[in-house]
Amino acid sequence: MLAVFLLCLLSAHLVTSEDEEASPKPPPAPLECVTLGGTGKVCEATQTDCVAIMDWNTLTDKNSSLYYGCRNNEPCDRTFSFSIAKGKRLALSSACCKTANCNQDLVVPIPSASDMENGLICAEGCYSTSDADCKGVNISCTGDEIKCFNLTGKSDAKTIVAKGCGTQSVCQLKGTVLTIGGTPYNVSMVMCEEAESPVPNSSNQIHGKSSFLLSLPTIASVLFMKLLC
């Protein structure tokens, strides 16, 4: 009798376990993050992080801004800067977290960039809405900006292209979202190469050597006169 009771109990347990395994688990509730203005926003299913972004933007107008919102699960805690011309720069830092409305308490480091030239140059610096229109001249790099970069980002129907000097972390932006002036751009392309030291002006060198050679007879005459005296 006891054996029959245990068998029935075991069968009921197995049926319950099978039912539990067969029942699909409900999807996790979407994350909610604080957005600009302090209001909450329900994120999309692919957005798993809350983010706070601070930037110093002088690409077009000089301003500093702090943005809040949702973000895809990608490397987030980062700081970088790039320049397209003297005094034209974007410096940005960001921080992320993964719980509801946690980004309102995030401490974002102030982005910094130096104006001191580091002796390197890049062939072209520009910022435009198309590669064909992004044409510039040589740019002197500053601070930690030791890479020459070419970046393309897209947001809906809008495209941006930027070229110039950038920090090492700029080269890792492909596939991430870059926020400029509150607009998020999906970075589809980044190409980088080492910034170079400027090549000395060969014509000046030749001119210097020629001047020295032309002055040799005069120097020789002065020395000869001194020997006679």
pLDDT digits (tens, 9 = 90+) for 37-73: 778 889 998 889 999 999 899 987 778 888 899 988 7
Which stretch of 26-35, 67-76, 213-222 has the lowest confidence by average pLDDT?
Answer: 213-222
The structure tokens listed for 118 are 């580091």
For residues 145 and 155, give the distance between their C-alpha atoms in angstroms, rounded to a whole number.
26
Buried b (16+ CB within 10 A) or exposed e, 119-146: ebbbeebbbbeeeeebebeebbbbbbbb
The tokens for 46 are 């692919």
Backbone angles phi, psi at 150, to 5 degrees: -140, 115
Is it the case that residue 210 has pLDDT exceeding 70?
Answer: no
Q: Are 105 and 85 in contact (CB under 8 A)?
A: no
Handedness of CA 51, 56, 60, 63 (dihedral sign): positive
Distances (CA, A) of 109 to 49, 65, 82, 94, 186: 18, 13, 17, 7, 23
- At 36 the pLDDT is 77
For residues 6 and 11, give the distance between their C-alpha atoms in angstroms, rounded to a whole number. 9
pTM as predicted: 0.70
Cα separations in angstroms, 226 against 30, 199, 222, 223, 229: 94, 41, 6, 5, 5
DSSP β-bridge partners for residue 79: 93
Lowest pLDDT segment from 18-27, 138-147, 167-176: 18-27
